Amino acid sequence: MFFSKDRSLYKLLFGIALPIAAQNLLTFSIGMADSVMVGFLGESYLAAASISNRFFFIMMIILFGIAGGSNVLIAQYWGKKDVDAIRKVLAIMYRVILVLASLFFALAQFFPRQIMQIYTNDPTVILEGVRYLKAVSWGYILYALTNATVMILRSVRSVKIANILYSISLATSIFFNWVLIYGNLGAPALGIVGAGYATVISRVTEFTIILVFLARFEKQLLIRPHTLRVIDTTILKSFITNVTPVIANESLWVAGSTVVSMIVGRLGANVVAASGIEGVVWQLVTVVLMGLQNATAVIVGNTIGAGEQAKLKEYTRTLLSMAYIIGPITGALMILLRPVAIAFYPNFDPATLELAKQIMFNSGIMLVFQSLNFVCLMGILRGGGDLRFVLIFDVVFLWTVAIPLGLAAAYIWKLPAPVVIICLRLDEVIKAMVALWRVRGNDWIRDLTQI
């Protein structure tokens, strides 16, 4: 392991990573509050909400690809202090995001049953999932615009607003879940539909806050409607060339993730509910890793954009060393928190809770390898502009290793659900080895601002 003696690196790293980790913790808390409060309605309701949110997850990951690909360009332009070019990238990005979010909203409104049937054949879960999906999808477009803006602000090191935004959103979500799910303060008890509407209210709150921030307080990019009006053809060409691989990466990955969800969904409602519990804990324990990943991408992109090649290797070795330390700690936390996690679901079948504990143990082991992928693939290599390599190796092992193994484990070998789920994640081990090999060379370093 290697740690730089450059104090400015640590100041920048913690200045970006810790606020992002806090933001992810707040985002996790919103998801956990929804999960626990819906969980009190019963296992089928939690399974329905979890499956419905997998459709949202598809949109979220593709949006992450659009905003993440834009971030790679913006981080490098920020290193050059070219704010005008950043605004031109944003003009394109927001248009693409609006189209995509509108498409997902339309699908959720007009084809909710067909969406649920992709993931499960349980009639009760499908019925409740349809009701939840139609309600919660009213917030999709607002979420897309807000989240993309928050991600862009990270690239120019403006991260504090996200914590204010998600703190208020958390309080709003908990309050309206309490009111609308259970019928408090004279409101009707809407059950799972109330959880959907509470989420929409939170999205409206988030969008309002980000609009006020951009209009009154944001002083670096000065984003205004007139600055986003014109599409620059040169920047458009660069956007298509450099952002398309990231979008393709996330789209192919999420397609594979959908197949994984279909496999898990057909193992039974109790497996879906147990996976939902594991997913909540996973979000909690990975908040620091997510912060490190995002900070790594920004630091690497800024360093390349500023032309400071001498510092680049020193910085990347230090960031990678941190992944070696944080990964095992994160995995251990996943395992240690199992009793605490299942205590939030006292009305669940004991067999479901035992299944959740087994899945969380396996997930804790895999986090050692996932931590390296967070920092190497999505941090160093993507931030360094090595977008096509990340596209190929992030997706190819999912489709050629994880999915075939998972299908065989579930339907040919008839293995227990926890074993099936770990088979579906074995690609993380191979990706970690390949990513480490790639980072050791210099072929991944690309200045994407050279048009």
The tens-digit pLDDT sequence of the chain (451 residues) is: 678 888 888 887 887 777 777 777 776 677 667 777 888 888 788 888 888 888 887 888 788 788 877 877 887 888 788 888 888 888 899 999 999 999 999 999 999 999 999 888 888 889 999 999 999 999 999 999 998 888 888 767 676 787 788 889 889 989 999 999 999 999 999 999 999 999 999 999 999 999 999 888 888 777 788 778 778 888 888 888 878 877 887 788 778 878 887 888 778 878 888 888 888 788 888 888 888 888 898 888 888 877 777 788 888 889 989 999 999 999 999 999 999 988 988 888 898 999 999 999 999 999 999 999 989 988 899 888 887 888 787 788 888 999 999 999 988 998 988 899 889 889 999 999 988 999 888 888 887 766 5
Residue 365: the pLDDT is 93
SS (H, E, C) 325-344: HHHHHHHHHHHHCHHHHHCC
The span from the CA of 240 to the CA of 336, in Å, is 45
What is the distance between the alpha carbons of residues 157 and 411, in angstroms, rounded to a whole number? 48
SS (H, E, C) 418-449: HHHHHHCCCHHHHHHHHHHHHHHCCCCCCCCC
Helix (H) or strand (E) holding 3: none
Task: For 88-120, give one letter per residue: b (16+ CB within 10 A) or e.
Answer: bbbbbbbebbeebbeebbebbeeebeebbeebb
Quote the CA–CA distance of 177 and 384 in Å, as a whole number: 42
Buried b (16+ CB within 10 A) or exposed e, 142-169: bbbbbbbbbbbbbbbbbbebbbebbebb
Cβ-Cβ contacts under 8 Å for 182 (sequence gap 6 or more): 189, 194
The answer to whether the beta carbons of residues 399 and 256 sit under 8 Å apart is: yes
- Find out whether 88 and 101 touch, Cβ atoms under 8 Å: no
Do residues 263 and 407 make contact, with C-beta atoms less than 8 angstroms apart? yes
Structure-token match 């409602």, residue found: 269
E strands in 286-422: none
Residue type, 49: A
What pLDDT sits at residue 27?
67
Q: Which residues contact 28 (CB under 8 A, 6 or more apart)?
A: 280, 283, 284, 287
Contact 21, 248 (CB under 8 A): no
Taking the C-alpha atoms of residue 153 and residue 74, their distance in angstroms, rounded to an integer, is 10
Measured CA angle at 425 (ends 390, 47), to 5 deg: 115
Q: Which of 266, 284, 247 is nearest to 388 (CA)?
A: 247
Boundaries of every domain in the chain: 7-440
**Do the beta carbons of residue 160 and residue 304 sit within 8 Å?**
no
Confidence (pLDDT) at 10: 87
Question: Contact, 43 vs 51, CB < 8 A?
Answer: no
